Amino acid sequence: MPEPSPRRPNARAARDAALGELAVVWQGPRLALQAPWLLAQRRGGGRPVLVLPGRSVGDASTAALRSYLSALGYRCLGWGLGINHGEVGRLLAAFVPVLEKMATDADGPVALVGQSMGGAVAREAARAHPELVSQVITLGTPLLTPRTSRPITRPVTALYSKVDRIVPPKWAVDRTAGVDNVEVSSTHFGMGFDPDVWRIVADRLSQPGAASTSEPSRSRRSA
């Protein structure tokens, strides 16, 4: 059975989306200007983090974010599975052993940060193996039909943007109780390089109990 996915845009909409996403080129200068504040975030203390890439890309696409989190003192790794081909079921089967190994090596659960379709894999890993996951942070991730009826019991932070032309808010905001939906101003591809996104990710990683499934879903804009 094919993975469920958001409706495909028509050719014109796809072209307009691609052009709008070119704003990612401005993120480099913003990162340089905000580096002192970014590096002043709370330290990671060696806590484990796995970062999952979006569809059609691999670990190279998350290298900058991983380098930043490593600089903060997290033990941060890429998923090591090559290109994300978008088939969540197959990717989940390959990813769980990676997650299990890192959790074993760290002697504790692992935080998952997933960009776009990488976030879909992260959500399903947390759903299936909550004992291995401390929290999930997704960046512009489309909400797909869950693979099981089991709820995600770990804290989830879902970043979304009204200027995201690939996965707009109607596909990315999770109304499930306990999910913290945070609006950012980044483009879809730019989330992996946006200093505001990095700051939110660092803040959430430093607060592993920040969200709870006993609380209602929240939607807010980043400061």
- Are 94 and 84 within 8 A, CB to CB? no
Instruction: Give burial (CB, 10 Å; 0-12/13-18/19+) of 20.
Output: middle
Which CATH number do you get for residue 152?
A: 3.40.50.1820
What are φ and ψ of residue 60, in 5° steps? -60, -30
- Residue 80 forms part of a structural domain: yes
Residue 19 or residue 72, greater confidence? 72
Give the predicted TM-score (pTM) of the model. Answer: 0.84
**Cα end-to-end span (Å), the chain:** 41
For the chain, the domain total comes to: 1
**Range 66-90 average pLDDT:** 97
Residue 98 has which token pair?
């990676």
Residue 120 or residue 26, greater confidence? 120
- Residue 6 forms part of a structural domain: no
Residue 149 has pLDDT above 60, yes or no: yes
- Residue 179 forms part of a structural domain: yes
Using CA atoms, how far apart are residues 166 and 169, in angstroms rounded to an integer? 10
- Residue 40 forms part of a structural domain: no
**Range 182-189 average pLDDT:** 94
Residue 59 has pLDDT above 70, yes or no: yes
Could you report the per-residue pLDDT of 93-145, keeping only the tens digit for each? 999 999 999 999 999 999 999 999 999 999 999 999 999 999 999 999 999 99
- Residue 146 forms part of a structural domain: yes
What residue numbers bound the domain in which 145 lies?
45-221
- Residue 32 forms part of a structural domain: no
- Residue 187 forms part of a structural domain: yes
Of the pLDDT bands very low, low, confident and very high (cuts 50, 70, 90), residue 40 is confident
- The per-residue pLDDT for 36 is 76
**Range 25-50 average pLDDT:** 79
- The per-residue pLDDT for 145 is 95
- Residue 19 forms part of a structural domain: no
Ramachandran area for residue 56 (φ above 0: left; ψ -120 to 50: alpha; else beta): left
- The per-residue pLDDT for 130 is 97
Residue 16 has pLDDT above 80, yes or no: no
How many Å is the maximal CA-CA distance in the chain?
A: 50
Using CA atoms, how far apart are residues 104 and 56, in angstroms rounded to an integer? 29
The average confidence (pLDDT) of the chain is 86
**Range 151-178 average pLDDT:** 95
